[in-house]
Every structure is written in structure tokens, then in C-alpha cells.
Chain A
């Protein structure tokens, strides 16, 4: 009896520890049950930045900003919604983009950086 409880607790701990892995794999019952499709990016870790930038009116205009963002190490993808004036950056968790840096970068491109929000995944 004395050995049973620790063994049970150990087994329970093992199950609990394996849950994140189970949830992150597409073949796991949890993933299938919840119809979750997990992207490799998420599996590897990522975060998203949504930047509101004013002054971009055509794809040609957005290209220079996208090029500058893609040159940052760790940035995985960049897309622009011209109508809303929002640039979305998907990056590795190690990437740290600050509002001050973005304001300076976009000013050099001739645009106005207004605000930035972050999200957990791309």
C-alpha cells in the first residue's frame, strides 16, 4: 500500500506531463476530438504582431515595409491589409519588436506607425 500511492502519483504525473504533447500532435485523440489542426509554426512556437500603419495605398507602397520586416531574423511571414492599414508579422518567440523601433522604421519608408498589438500564434 505504501508503494502503491507513490506509484499511482507518479503515473498520474506522467500522464499529466504527456498531455501537452498529446494535445500538440495531430494524431492524438484530443486533437481529433476537438478537430484541432496544429501548424508546425505553433508546434515550434511563434507570435504575431498586428501593426496599424497609415499612408500605404497600393501594393507597391507596402512592398518596401514588408521587405524591411522580412529582413529581421526570426520573422517568418509578413502580410498587409491595405484597406485597414494593418501589417501582420508572424515571428519566432525570440523576436522582440518595439513600437519605438517600428515607428522609426516606418517613418523612413514614408509612412506613419500608429499602434501595435501582439498575439500568441500566427
Chain B
């Protein structure tokens, strides 16, 4: 069987992008979005380091794909209900293949989006919110890098070269003891340089339970949360010059345990996403894990 490693690595990269889109927004969850608002005229900054390792090669060629990305997210409360976000990734990608090592470093595709609180119900120590969001992924990453072996494969390129809109809806129910966030999102990936990545659908859920302190008082200034999240990612097949690549696309389900320490003006958190189901097209390179660590500040 002729092995199309380009397609499988393309899928791996697509899943990486999905992971970035799910976790790149400011959120009480670590890997996805929240409907909790940013106060009017307040800023929020989040820095998250994401490491993706995909080395489970069904083709048996020993391929390994590792990406390390530092994602900077800025959020601003334009009104109590409307928040604006900007996301900029700085990434290093490295793909080991039988033909040699292919790599690229630099800024990836930035994202701009807005989130609006459509429904809000507050009570003592509790809140329920529903917020749609919409935005666009910008072609700020290079998509035509070359090395000694020629044009880098599409998954190793830093950007897509296309303007890709996305929409979603997030729901949050939070108390002082626990919080549940669920979100749905859809990204329409457009064509650039003959490549049209498959559109992406995501469903995410996050449960955060306060582990410490046991009892709250007026002196309570910080929380420690245990976090358990789930991410379902479905990607349609990628088309190359209008022809669907059968070795692309697929569905992956991640489970992500984590910890989150929330103080008054900053939050530190970490999690690991473990793929429990991977149903990929053809001989797609399967993920081993995704690790995330981040800090957030409000000011």
C-alpha cells in the first residue's frame, strides 16, 4: 500500500489546530471556552504553552510529529456583555520522516473573535450564562516555507494562507463549589494555494471541582480546582486542488484531566489531553498526547 504521509501529517496538524482553537481562548476551562464575562474596560491576558506529540504511526514508518506552541491571548471587556479577543500563536514544528527532518518556526495564524453574553442569571454564589461567539482565523502564518527537500508539507507550514471564519456557542453554570462549561464550534476552512483543509466541528465539556479550601470564609483568596475535560473533534477531509484526500479527516475524542489554581488576580493551570478514540482517515498519524500549561492575569 502506497503510503501518503503528507495526508496523515496534514491530519495531525489539523487536529493540532483544533486543539489550539479549543484552548486558545481565555476560559475557566483549560482546553475550551467559557461564557464567564470580562468586566467592562478590563483586560485579561493568557499565555499557554501547548505541546503536541503524534508518533503513533499506523504505517509503521516511524514518523514523529512534535509541535511546541506558545499562545498569547488578550481579552478586553468592551461592555459587560461583549468581549473581544485576540489570539497569536508562536510555534515550532518538527516532523521526522524516513526522508529526513522537516521543521518550521514562527508565528502561526492569528484569531480575532467576539463573544456576547446572550443570557445571564445570577444568584448568590452562582451564575448561569449562555454566550455565542464568532470570529475569523487570519492568514498571518507562513504557508509556503521550503527547506533542502523542497516545499514543506502542509501540516508543517505555520499557516493556512486563508481567511477562515468560525462560530460557536458556550454555556456555563458556575457555583463556588464547581463549574460546568460546554461549548460547540464550527470553523469553515477556505482554500489557499490549492489546499483547502477540512472544516472542523468541535464539542467540548469541562467540569471544575473545588478541591481546596474545604470551607469558604471572608478570608478565602484562592481556590484549587480539579479539572476534567472532554474534547470531541471532527474534521472533514482535506482537498488538494479540488480532490479529497482519503488519508485526511476523522474524529478524535480527548479526555483531559488537569489542575487549576485561581487567585484573585491570576490563575495557573495545567492539563494533559489523552486521545481515547481516534478514527482517522487512511493512515493518519495518531496523537499520543497534548499537554497544556498556562497562566492568566486580569488588570
Contact = CB atoms under 8 A, between A and B. Distances in A.
B133 interface: no
A54 B264 contact: no
A53 B192 CA distance: 50
Residue in B117, B120, B127, B266 whose Cβ sees the most chain A Cβ within 10 Å: B127
Contact of A57 (B117, B176, B222): B176
B4 to A, nearest CB: 47
Main secondary structure of the interface of B (DSSP, over half): loop
A60 B298 contact: yes
B285 interface: no
Contacts of B122: 54-55, 111-112
A interface, how many residues as a size bin?
20 to 34
Given A108-B39, A109-B40, A58 B176 contact: yes
Q: Which of A62, A66, A84 has the most CB of B within 10 A?
A: A84
B211 interface: no
A39 B298 CA distance: 34
Interface stretch (A29-37, A74-82, A92-100): A74-82
B223 A109 contact: no
Interface string A96-122: 000000000001111110000000000
B80 A81 contact: no
Interface in B195-223: 216-223
Interface in B252-299: 262-267, 298
Contacts of A46: none
Nearest to A109: B39
A62 B264 contact: yes
A63 B298 contact: yes
